[in-house]
Amino acid sequence: MSSLSQQLLRRKPTTQEIASEEGLKRSIGLFALTMIGVGGTIGTGIFYVLSSAVPIAGPAVIWSFVIGGAVAGVTALCYAELAGSVPVSGSTYSYAYATLGEAPAMGVAACLLLEYGVSTAGVAVGWSQYVNQLLDNLFGFQIPPELSNAPEQGGIMNLPAVIVIALCALLLLRGTGESATINAIMVMVKIGVLVFFVAVALTGWNADHFANFAPAGLQGVIAGSGLIFFSFIGLDAVSTAGGEAKNPKRNLPLAIIMALIIVVVAYVVVAVAAIGAQAPDKFEGQTAGLSVILESIIGSSWPGTVVAAGAVVSIFSVTFVVLYGQTRILFAMSRDGMVPPVFSKLNPRTLAPARNTVIVAAVVGVLAAFVPINFLLEMTSIGTLVAFLVVSVAVIILRRREPNIERGFTLPLHPLIPVLSILGCIWIITQLRPITIIVFVIWTAAFLVYYWFYGRTHSTLGRQAAAGADIPFTSTVRQVEEDER
C-alpha cells in the first residue's frame, strides 16, 4: 500500500512509448507545427491589445513586447528541451506529470485549463470587434451592440464571439491534419496583412509620438508586459500537439524556436509602426485599432477594410489553435484518468476527440458571450506565466534526475536560462492586479480539491499501483540508475 506522499507525487515515465499509446494520428509536420505556434500567438495580441497596453505603458509598450518576448524566449528554449524529451500531448501538464508528480501536474492543469479556456473566449471577443469594423466598411452596418457586447458593456451577449468558436469547433471535428493545413493558410494571410499595415503606417510616421516614451516608468512597461503576455500562448500550443506531430523529438523543438522568432519580430515591428502613425493618447478605448490607424492616414476606408479582413482571418486562426490546445490537454488528462473518459473518446474516422471538442466549445462559448475582454486577458496571462514557470522548473529537475534521457534539443547555458525564465515569470506576475492573482489562487485551490476527490481515486497510475505495478514517484531529484539498484 503506497503512502499518501507516494500517491500525490507518483509520476509517469519519460519514454517514447507513451506517445504511441495515445491513439492519435501523427499527421502534423514541421511547417504546420510552426504555423500552429505563429497562428496561436499572432492575433489578438497585436490586432487588439494595443488599445489596452498603450494607455498603461505609453510608447514604451514596444519594450513591453520585448520583455514579454525575452521571458517567452528563454521559456521557449525550456519548452524545446522538454518537447524533445517527452513528446506527448498535454503540454506543461504532461511535463509536470513526468517530472514533479501527479498532484503538481493537476495544479498545472488548473493553470492550463484557465489559460486555454479563457484565452479562447478572449480572442473570440476581439474577433467580434473586427467583424463589426469589416461589416461597417463593406456594407454600412454593424451587429447591434446588444448582440456584440457582454452584459457588463451594455449588451445582452457577444454573438459573433460564440459564432467563431462554433466554426473553429466544426473545423477541428474534420480532423487534425486537414485543420492544421487550413490554419497554415490563415497564418500566411495574417502575416501578409501585417506587412501591408506596416508599409502603410510608416507613410504616416511622426517621431513626436515617441516624445513621452514611458509616462508610467518601468512599472508601466512591466504592467504592459503582464497584460500582453497571454498572446505568447501559441508557443505552449505547439507542445500540445506532441501526440500528433511527425518526428516529435526533432520537429517540436524546431517549431517552438522558429515560431518565437517570427512572433517577436512581428510584434515589435507592428507596435513601432502603429505608435509612429498614431499618438499614444488615441489608443485608449479604440476598437479595431489597426484598421482605424490606416483609415486616418489614407483618408479612405479601403486600407482599414484590408486590415479588418486580415484580422478576422488572423484571430480566427488564434481561436482555432487555443481551442485545439484545450481539447488536447483534456484528452491527455482523460487518458490519465484525471477527468471523465468522455474527453478521450476518439472519432473512429477522424481520430479526433469529437465529444471533447463539443463540450469545450460550449463552455468557452458561454464565457465569450457574457464576460468582457479585459478581465479575460489578465486571467489568461497569469495562467500562461505559471505554466511557463513550471516548464522551467521541470527542465532543471529532469536534467538532474535523468541526465541520459534522449533529447531532441539540449538547452544551452543550463541552468542559467531556466532560472532567468523563472525570475522573469515571477517578476511579471507581481505586476498583475491583486484581484487577478486572488481569482487565480481560488481557481487553482478549487481544482486541487476536485483532484483530491476524483483524480486521485481515478488515476490510471493509481490503478496500476493497486495492481502491483512499480510506479516511480518524486522522492529524490536524481533517478537511481539500473546498475546502482
Summarize pLDDT for 112-166 with one digit per residue, the tens. 887 787 777 777 777 777 788 788 888 888 888 888 777 766 778 888 888 889 9
**Confidence band for 476, pLDDT divided at 50, 70 and 90:** very low
User: Shortest CA distance to 286 belongs to which of 129, 178, 154, 435?
Assistant: 129
User: What pLDDT does 376 receive?
Assistant: 60
Q: Which of 379-383, 456-460, 481-485 has the lowest mean pLDDT?
A: 481-485
Residue 136 to residue 298: CA distance in whole angstroms: 17
Q: Grid coordinates standing for 330?
A: 483534456
State the chain's maximal CA–CA distance in angstroms.
Answer: 76
Burial of 475 (0-12, 13-18, 19+ CB in 10 A): exposed
**Confidence band for 1, pLDDT divided at 50, 70 and 90:** very low
**Confidence band for 48, pLDDT divided at 50, 70 and 90:** low
User: What pLDDT does 475 receive?
Assistant: 55
Name the pTM for this structure: 0.78
pLDDT at 359 over 90: yes
% of the chain with per-residue pLDDT over 70: 87
Pick the residue with more confidence: 13 or 58? 58
pLDDT at 483 over 60: no
Q: Grid coordinates standing for 15?
A: 519514454
Residue 477 to residue 372: CA distance in whole angstroms: 44
User: What pLDDT does 137 receive?
Assistant: 80
pLDDT at 227 over 80: no
Q: Which of 141-155, 187-201, 314-328 has the lowest mean pLDDT?
A: 141-155
pLDDT at 235 over 80: no
Residue 290 to residue 24: CA distance in whole angstroms: 39
Q: Which of 27-41, 356-370, 442-456 has the lowest mean pLDDT?
A: 27-41
Q: Residue 452 has what DSSP assignment?
A: I
Residue 475 to residue 369: CA distance in whole angstroms: 45
Phi-psi region of 26 (alpha: psi -120 to 50; beta: other; left: phi over 0): beta
| Rounded mean pLDDT, 335-339 | 90
CA atoms within 13 A on the CB side of 24: 30
